[in-house]
Amino acid sequence: MSLEPIDPETALELYLANRETEISQATYYSHNSRLGHFVHWCDEQEIINLNELTGRQLQHYRLWRRNDGDLSPVTEKTQMDTLRVFIRWLESIDGVPEDLSTKVLSPEITPSQNARDVMLDHEQATAILTHLEKYEYASLEHLTVALLWHTMMRIGCAHALDVEDYHSNEQYLEIHHRPETETPIKNQQDGERLVALSPSVCELINDWLNNKRPFVTDKYGREPLLTTEQGRASISALRSYVYCWSRPCWYGQPCPHDRDPKQCDAMRRDNASKCPSSISPHAIRRGSITHSLGKDMPEKVVSDRTNVSQAVIDQHYDQRTERERMEQRREFLE
């Protein structure tokens, strides 16, 4: 076959331009980040024409990326699977030898390996929210953590909420995909839904709106529900609130790692994620889903509320033990 010379950077630019209208913004950024490591490796190896790329070189890259990034098998598989998609696309434009994508190897992952088990349990969530209610009531951080726990929504959905999406009298939130104004959500239009709220969460939102929320709009003239004085709170800012308030020392608990708070680097807000006990927003979602299932909320209800299939809930979110599931079934039998 006749190949047309192409350098790694140009290849990545063309690939992203080609996929931009097909994939979500989050997927776009993820592919750009993952494949950026490959472009960097090609630069180190002085590979300036991908026409000459071989299966052996791809294996060298896999080992380099595993060691350089200290990757887990799950992360390594994600990285290599994205690279395979990229190489397959390059085949379609005569940028690499035919069938080179079949030589991109990635580890075999069992379902148990692929399902992450880090989560915020109900006891921890109660302790955090009790502390926030007492000392940071109706603050942006309090509302962020409370919404994520009680609604089980993804951080991107919380970021996308506007004041007009909240219906106080009917006690629910609307979740919308608005990519044209920089608030896309996972699953796009398929992720749009109505989420019911409890009276206590509505009271919290009302107090935030009436007493604490800054009267600002974003650059598109929208009124974000979760906002700072500068405008809509970024996803990274919302994520940092979770890292911050999931540190035990910040909600009145002793340090489980025998660290001196005065000397602990993770005490700084910008280093909160370095605390071994800190968690990501997704761990709140996983913990809340597990708690709801443990309280006999039907899987179909949880599935619709969280916009995730029941099969994915079983594999990635439900952290109940087999014994706990059996005891729940026993109650129905009795």
DSSP string, 130-198: HHHHHHSTT-HHHHHHHHHHHH---HHHHHH-BGGGEETTTTEEEE--BGGGTB--TTGGGG-EEEE--
CA angle 315, 67, 71 (to 5 degrees): 15
pLDDT at 242: 94
Nearest Cα neighbor of 178 from 196, 197, 165 is 165
Residues of the chain within CATH 1.10.150.130 domain(s) are: 8-112
DSSP state of 103: G
Q: In terms of C-beta density within 10 A (0-12 exposed, 13-18 middle, 19 or more buried), how is residue 218 classed?
A: middle
- 148: exposed, middle or buried (Cβ count in 10 Å: 0-12, 13-18, 19+): buried
What is the C-alpha to C-alpha distance for residues 252 and 219, in angstroms, rounded to an integer? 38
Cα dihedral across residues 261, 262, 266, 270: positive or negative: positive
CATH of 122-286, one of 3.40.50.300, 3.40.50.2300, 1.10.443.10, 1.20.140.10: 1.10.443.10
pTM: 0.65
C-alpha–C-alpha distance, residues 204 and 334, integer Å? 39
Residue with tokens 């992203």: 16
- The helix (H) or strand (E) run that includes residue 114 is helix 111-114
What is the fold of 8-112?
DNA polymerase; domain 1 (1.10.150)
Q: At what angle do helices 122-135 and 281-294 cross, to 10 degrees?
A: 120
Please tell me the number of Cα atoms within 13 Å of 156 on its side-chain side. Answer: 19
Task: Please list the pLDDT of the chain residue by residue as tens digits (334 residues).
Answer: 688 999 999 999 999 999 888 776 767 888 898 999 999 999 999 999 999 999 999 999 999 998 887 777 878 888 898 999 999 999 999 999 999 999 999 887 655 454 455 788 888 899 999 999 999 999 999 999 999 999 999 999 999 999 999 999 999 999 999 999 999 998 889 889 999 999 999 999 999 999 999 999 999 999 999 999 999 999 999 999 999 999 988 888 888 887 888 889 889 888 888 888 888 898 899 889 888 888 777 878 877 887 777 777 766 666 677 777 777 677 666 6
The ranges of the chain annotated as CATH 1.10.443.10 are 122-286
Gap between the Cα atoms of 96 and 165, Å rounded: 48
The whole-angstrom separation of Cα 271 and Cα 88 is 39
Q: How far apart are the first and last CA of the chain?
A: 69
The strands making up 166-167's β-sheet, listed across from edge to edge, are 166-167, 172-175, 193-196
